[in-house]
């Protein structure tokens, strides 16, 4: 059975990572969370004083990119977690503070070039599922299956709000909604690799779709592509 490349793009908090992980587990594919990679670089920039609420020194970050090493390792449950220079930072990168600075970090051309190169290397043999903002348009423009996931901003904010609260992170729904809408604006308007729908992508609006139905629908699309039916 041939192995294909599956590219999943879309707005923030649409469940891209969740369905990508499910597909990778079911198909026995490698899962690469590109968003986690940008979050890792963001965390590195925050820790080193390159970015905060009042300034962003992109030149300092660019000059220091050579000192950033990222890799995915499986935990005891077989789930992929991201490591920054040998440190497991899976939990640290999921905070609201990191979320606030991801988009400006992702606009830096040199950062995108470094991470796209790594991502393409990870998926060069096929049998990979990757999610992010520009996977089907930039990283894997020849992917056999491209999905673009979306949902209304209030629905996405509510999902993100519940997730953060369940992790014990104190935040208001209004803060989360503001963050979601701001990220949408930055992601779609940035000069480098803006968020957009690939011409051959299948749009999935999951505003009123439960996770199980969504997974089975996308899984069937993958099976059809693998079998060459589409």
What is the domain partition of the chain in residue ranges? Answer: 5-220
At residue 44, the pLDDT reads: 98
> Which position has the higher pLDDT, 46 or 28?
46
At residue 197, the pLDDT reads: 95
* DSSP character at residue 227: T
From first CA to last CA, the distance across the chain in angstroms is 15
Rounded Cα distance between 199 and 207, Å, is 22
**C-alpha neighbours within 13 Å on the C-beta side of residue 89:** 22
Strand, helix or coil for residue 118: helix
- Encoded tokens for 202: 């299948």
Hey, what CATH topology would domain 5-220 get?
A: Rossmann fold (3.40.50)
Q: Which residue has the tokens 């509510």?
A: 158
The arithmetic mean of pLDDT across residues 57-76, rounded, is 94
Rounded Cα distance between 35 and 140, Å, is 15
At residue 24, the pLDDT reads: 92
pTM as predicted:
0.78
β-strand pairing of 5-10 with 128-132: parallel
Strand, helix or coil for residue 168: coil
Using a pLDDT cut of 70, give the percent of the chain over it.
100
**C-alpha neighbours within 13 Å on the C-beta side of residue 24:** 24
Predicted confidence (pLDDT) at residue 192 exceeds the cutoff of 80: no
Length of the chain: 230
> Which position has the higher pLDDT, 122 or 176?
176
């Amino acid at each position: 059975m041939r192995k294909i490349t599956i590219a999943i793009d879309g707005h923030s908090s649409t469940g891209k990572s969740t369905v990508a992980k499910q597909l990778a587990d079911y198909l026995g594919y490698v899962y690469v969370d590109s968003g986690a990679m940008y979050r890792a670089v963001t965390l590195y920039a925050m820790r080193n004083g390159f970015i905060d609420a009042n300034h962003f020194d992109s030149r300092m970050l660019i000059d220091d990119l050579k000192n950033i090493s990222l890799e995915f390792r499986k935990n005891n449950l077989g789930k992929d977690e991201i490591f920054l220079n040998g440190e497991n930072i899976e939990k640290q990168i999921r905070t609201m503070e990191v979320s606030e600075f991801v988009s400006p970090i992702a606009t830096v051309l040199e950062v995108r070039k470094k991470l796209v190169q790594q991502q393409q290397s990870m998926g060069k043999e096929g049998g990979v599922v990757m999610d992010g903002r520009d996977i089907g348009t930039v990283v894997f423009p020849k992917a056999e299956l491209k999905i673009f996931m979306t949902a209304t901003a209030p629905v996405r904010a509510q999902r993100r709000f519940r997730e953060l609260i369940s992790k014990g992170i104190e935040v208001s729904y209004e803060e989360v909604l503001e963050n979601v809408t701001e990220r949408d604006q930055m992601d779609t308007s940035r000069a480098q690799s803006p968020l957009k729908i690939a011409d051959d992508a299948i749009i999935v609006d999951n505003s009123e779709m439960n996770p199980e139905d969504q997974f089975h629908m996308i899984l069937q699309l993958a099976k059809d592509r693998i079998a060459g039916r589409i």
